[in-house]
Amino acid sequence: MPDSPTPERFVPSAPRGGIRRLWKAFTAKPDRGQLVVALLLAALGFGVVLQVRGDADDQLETARRTELVQILSDLNQRSSRLEQEIAELEATRRELASGADTERTALEQTAMRARQLAVLAGTAPAQGPGIVVTLEDPDGQVRARHILATVQELRVAGAEAMQIQGGNGELVRVSASTYFLDAGGGLEVDGTVLTRPYVITAIGAPGALAGSIRFVTKEIAEEAVVEEYDLLVVDALREPETPEYARPASED
């Protein structure tokens, strides 16, 4: 009986290394479709960059000299406020780190912080320099979106406490959760209906607030009046709200 042939042994070839595959991908000649896609992506990115730069340049190029001066002044004032806050925080850190009267300093800082938060939340009255913006609006052209834009501009300019009063005598403290709705011929603010004219009182650096708000009020109402004061009082109060879902986080 003849001997059966010995089967050949299968030996798998060694896989190519990752570096070789990567080099091959880089050195491979791209086809026409890949080149077209790459060119389109490059053109799109270049166009987006030009558009962003163009929008920013157009806003500055079309601004008048007085507006540019005011923008620079606002930026300088905001920078000064931030530098002052940094200096105060560094002074507090040094006092706490020194170990001298640490407990008393910590309690004073906590009490001061609580008063500041009460002012920001609208649960405590506030006083200080600021401006009063009066919108007569005889033709009823002012809408909720205009008042919201005004309030947002004041916040950006550094307003620390605000309230709005209607011609019907109703007064509402403005906080981070305040909302504005059109209500017939008037305005609804946090559920309270206000009638024309609208008077907004804002506490902050008068120059920065007035300069910032004039650009907005030009578009809202030509008869808007902006007045600066050395001392104003914001005494409309809000009821403290109890969070429904949020709870203080554990120290861990």
Average pLDDT estimate for 171-179: 93
Q: Over the chain, what HEC string results?
A: CCCCCCCCCCCCCCCCCHHHHHHHHHHCCCCHHHHHHHHHHHHHHHHHHHHHHHHHHHHHHCCCHHHHHHHHHHHHHHHHHHHHHHHHHHHHHHHHHHCCCHHHHHHHHHHHHHHHHHHHHCCCCEEEEEEEEEECCCCCCCCHHHHHHHHHHHHHCCCCEEEEECCCCCEEEECCCCCEEEECCEEEECCEEECCCEEEEEECCHHHHHHHHHHHHHHHCCCCEEEEEEEEEECCCCCCCCCCCCCCCCCC
Residue 181 maps to a domain: yes
Phi, psi for 133 (deg, rounded to 5): -105, 120
Cis peptide before 197 (omega within 30 of 0): yes
Residues 132 and 117 in one domain: no
Residues 141 and 216 in one domain: yes
Which has more pLDDT, 147 or 52?
147
If you average pLDDT over every residue of the chain, what do you get? 77
Residue 241 maps to a domain: no
Residues 159 and 207 in one domain: yes
Residues 205 and 179 in one domain: yes
Q: Which of 58, 84, 106 is the last residue of a domain?
A: 58
Residues 133 and 105 in one domain: no
Residue 70 maps to a domain: no
Residues 146 and 215 in one domain: yes
Residue 250 maps to a domain: no
Residue 163 maps to a domain: yes
Cα separation, 40 vs 149, in Å, equals: 39
Domain span including residue 150: 126-234
Give residue-wise pLDDT tens across range 21-76: 545 555 555 555 555 556 666 666 656 555 555 554 555 566 677 767 767 777 77
pTM of full prediction above 0.75: no
Q: Which of 92, 121, 150 is the last residue of a domain?
A: 121
Residues 145 and 171 in one domain: yes
Cα separation, 23 vs 218, in Å, equals: 62
| pLDDT confidence of residue 88 | 78
Which has more pLDDT, 201 or 34?
201
Residues 30 and 108 in one domain: no
Cα separation, 116 vs 60, in Å, equals: 36
Residues 116 and 197 in one domain: no
Average pLDDT estimate for 99-103: 64
CB atoms within 10 A of CB 80: 12
Residues 88 and 30 in one domain: no
Residues 172 and 187 in one domain: yes
Q: How many domains does the chain have?
A: 3
Range with lowest mean pLDDT among 37-41, 156-160, 210-214: 37-41
| pLDDT confidence of residue 28 | 57
| pLDDT confidence of residue 204 | 94
CB 215 within 8 A of CB 103: no
